[in-house]
Amino acid sequence: MGCSDQNNIYSTKHREHCVCDIVQRIVYAQDKVNKDNCDTSCYTSIQQLSDKKPFNVHTTIPFLLYCRNSCKPFIGKGFMTKHHNHCSEKSFKEIESPFFRAKKFLRGSKCCFRLELLLPIKDKKFSQLCDYYSYCDDHSKKITDFIATGVCLTVDLNQFIGITCLDPITPISPK
């Protein structure tokens, strides 16, 4: 998605903080269909999520962010808590993903933002990344869904050069 005027997708006017502006619009569209829960382009995805059609049940626009210096997708990392056998024992499982769901801007900020990691599911199996930029599993398998992890991180959107949005989805709730 380019850095054009947010009200006119055909505008060539450059916007200084276009990634921030786009993420703000994603949150606005998601908030219209969510109750504050933790041709593909961002504008198309925002419009699809904003449509007031009775059959529109999607709640999320997944997206990737591209790092300023490397032009590579940013890989978010975090930890999920796993409880064992319904008892008080727990462990932490590290997860990483280049896919995010916008949650909210930090109070008083236009570019510091809370993102939730979305885990891709390929052919009904969890996908994990094997290094910073590549998937371990078979690239020929298609992403069939996403899991909302509940794992959030805070980022400064000014540190990213680009954003790619996927079509709206409703992620699977974490178990």
pLDDT in tens, the chain (175 residues): 444 444 444 344 445 567 888 888 888 888 878 654 445 678 778 888 887 666 667 899 999 999 988 889 999 999 887 766 666 778 888 889 999 999 998 888 888 999 999 998 876 655 544 433 334 445 566 888 999 999 999 999 999 999 999 999 999 987 6
In order of 89, 91, 110, 163, the CA distances from 71 in angstroms are 41, 34, 23, 10
Residues 6+ apart with CB under 8 A from 13: 4, 5
Can you give the pLDDT at residue 132? 34
- Specify the amino acid at residue 10: Y
Does 172 fall in a domain? no
Q: How much is the pTM?
A: 0.71
Does 67 fall in a domain? yes
Contact by Cβ (8 Å): 44, 26? no
The number of domains in the chain is: 1
Token pair in block for residue 74 = 């940013």
SS3 140: coil
Does 175 fall in a domain? no
Quote the DSSP letter at residue 172: B
Does 6 fall in a domain? no
Within 10 Å of residue 55's Cβ, how many Cβ atoms?
5
Domain hosting residue 133, numbered range = 18-165
In order of 5, 107, 134, 162, the CA distances from 131 in angstroms are 36, 33, 6, 21
Does 75 fall in a domain? yes
Can you give the pLDDT at residue 137? 47
Does 61 fall in a domain? yes
Residues 6+ apart with CB under 8 A from 101: 30, 60, 61, 62, 115, 116, 118, 148, 171
User: How, if at all, do strands 99-105 and 76-83 pair?
Assistant: unpaired
Does 24 fall in a domain? yes
Does 9 fall in a domain? no
CA angle 18, 23, 24 (to 5 degrees): 95
Contact by Cβ (8 Å): 52, 33? no
Residues 6+ apart with CB under 8 A from 99: 62, 63, 64, 117, 118, 119, 120, 146, 166
